[in-house]
Amino acid sequence: MNETEQLLEQVADRVRTCARGTGKARPAPLGSGEIARAEAILGFALPPLLALLHTRIGDGGFGPGQGLLPLRQAVGTYGAQRASGWRWPEGVLPIADFGCGTYVCVDCRSETAQVLLFDPNPGEPDLAWSLDTPSLAAWLRGWLDGTAWFCEESAVGEECDLELLPWAEFRSRI
């Protein structure tokens, strides 16, 4: 079993455990045709791991915070953000809403599917984008093992200021 398959199995196990504990059913997985339709609307391909999460685990509702966005919602949010007053980079898909206008996003043009944090609250577009994690796989592993900054059981908490690095590619992608 390769690393991606192991990671998908770990995510699936966590999702099953959470579903049993809460009694909430997760959304059904999408078909490959729905991935292709989303990619046609977006104009770019989803990272393979993100597509597998939606086709093998479920269409959102699991993961950090309130979970991954359903793909249709992620596509709609991408379009709305691109049309808004914010300069939204091409190929950067929001995958989770962390509230107060803050989104966790995946750079679909990055080889590793970098995870970015969009936080408009500083009010300055150049300050809104940060590199969260070098890859979607690492971001998921941080959620699974509780070491990510957004995990309640993480060592990063209220007493620790989160200092993410600015996303260096922002200017070249708008």
- Please answer whether residues 138 and 148 qualify as being in contact, where contact means their C-beta atoms are separated by less than 8 angstroms: no
* Domain with 12 in it: 3-148+164-173
Q: Is residue 130 part of a domain?
A: yes
Cα-to-chain-centroid distance, residue 2: 22
Q: Is residue 155 part of a domain?
A: no
160 has pLDDT over 60: no
Report which of 103, 23, 25 is spatially closest to residue 64, judged by C-alpha positions. Answer: 103
Kindly state the tokens that stand for 77: 């949010």
Side-chain-side CA neighbours of 17 within 13 Å: the count stands at 8
Pick from 4-8, 75-79, 132-136, 169-173: least confident: 169-173
Averaged pLDDT score across all residues of the chain: 88
Kindly state the average pLDDT of the residues 60-89.
92
Kindly state the tokens that stand for 28: 């059904």
Q: Check which CATH number belongs to the domain holding 26 and give it.
A: 3.40.1580.10
For 3-53, how does the pLDDT look when each residue is reduced to its tens digit (9 = 90+)?
Answer: 999 999 999 999 888 766 566 677 899 999 999 999 999 999 999 999 999
Q: Is residue 158 part of a domain?
A: no
pLDDT given for residue 20 in this prediction? 67
pLDDT given for residue 153 in this prediction? 45
